[in-house]
Amino acid sequence: MAKRSVFLNRPKIDPLPITATMTLRDLVEGTFLAYNGARLREACQLFSAQMLADDVTVGMSLTGALTPAGLGIAAIIPLIEAGFVDWVVSTGANLYHDTHYGIGLDMHRGRHDVSDVALREDGVVRIYDIFFEYDVLLKTDAFFKQMIQAPEFQCSMSTAEFHHHAGRYVAERERVLGIGRRSVLAAAYEHRVPIYTSSPGDSSIGMNVAAMALLGNRLAFDVSRDVNETSAIVYDAKRRGGRSGVLMLGGGSPKNFILQTEPQIQEVLGIAEKGHDFYLQITDARPDTGGLSGATPGEAVSWGKVDPDKLPDTVVCYVDSTVALPILTAYTLATRAPRRPKRLYDRRDELVDALVTEFRRVGGPKTD
């Protein structure tokens, strides 16, 4: 009798038929058995069963127009409120469009195949199949212009500090309007989750800051502070004997910014470290084009971004984030009890001080 291959020791593909009463958890675990369905199941199980252990500090990166599609309200806010996200790197665009909801403005379901000339004539702006009035942009611009005239904004600050102050104003607008929690910025403010933007000038928020600078406003983004604060968050997780995990939705600059924390610690600061412990990415980008958006966790190992010993704890799921994120969120809320929030925003100065101390201990920059 021929010896059975070790490759056939894996579970059989033997799903139960889908029924009207099947839960989402049963659907994911019982029918997502191959291809990117299987990767999505692995992503859900990795995030829920391992990445949300109490000793793991979880960073999330947001790329692509997720908040205009309502995923801030539907998925990201519930994850923050459950203590499942400890810090965030986002495009400025996601935070700008998030603000529409928080200040009571409307976004509408549309179609991707409508004439953009006709939309322009009607004063309607399109993000693929999302429609909204041009006036939504003007009202949001006015909100930011007025907000950053406040005294607390007249200085240089990290983008986390800026978004924290902005979240307070948006939360107050939500309260006055009586619309409930609608904004990721407001939720992050409440739970002290720091939100960073890797390219603060590359969004309508940055454009409004630039416009007010022409009139003497003194707000300026301290991008070096952003680099050091995010690196300090990861370093603190490791020096306390904990672990660091990253959940990346899309790629682009936020993906690089959340991952570069480890090369910053190891390569630039010269502090001994091995890389993030958990790497979970939802993307539609291919790796063979050389772009960072499609780069694999194996490639990240060569940069020191991922601990090579933890490659089994990495998942890349090639699925649209608007499909995967709601499923991941629902699965996790159904399978994992809420965690106590780490409230990292309140500890930023302490964390950077610890990073500075270790940088000095290892000798600082090596010069000839």
Supply the residues annotated as catalytic. Answer: 305
Alpha helices, DSSP H only, in 178-294?
184-191, 204-213, 223-239, 252-259, 261-263
- Could you tell me the two tokens for 131? 């429609």
**What secondary structure, in 3-state letters, does 28-87 show?**
HHHHCCCHHHHHHHHHHHHHHHHHCCCCEEEEEEECCCCCCCCHHHHHHHHHHHCCCCCE
- Could you tell me the two tokens for 253? 């600059």
Q: How many CB atoms lie within 10 A of CB 156?
A: 12
Alpha helices, DSSP H only, in the chain?
24-31, 35-46, 71, 77-81, 92-102, 116-121, 134-147, 159-177, 184-191, 204-213, 223-239, 252-259, 261-263, 297-302, 321-335, 348-361
181 in Cβ contact with 187 (< 8 Å): yes
272 in Cβ contact with 306 (< 8 Å): no
Q: What angle do CA 359, 343, 84 make, to 5 degrees?
A: 105
- Consecutive H or E run containing 131: strand 130-133
59 in Cβ contact with 260 (< 8 Å): no
- d(CA 95, CA 125) in angstroms, rounded, equals 17
- Could you tell me the two tokens for 93? 């665009």
Please tell me whether residue 141 adopts helix, strand or coil conformation.
helix
- Closest listed residue to residue 154, CA positions, set 209, 234, 74: 209
Q: What secondary structure letter does DSSP report for 336?
A: S
- d(CA 348, CA 358) in angstroms, rounded, equals 16
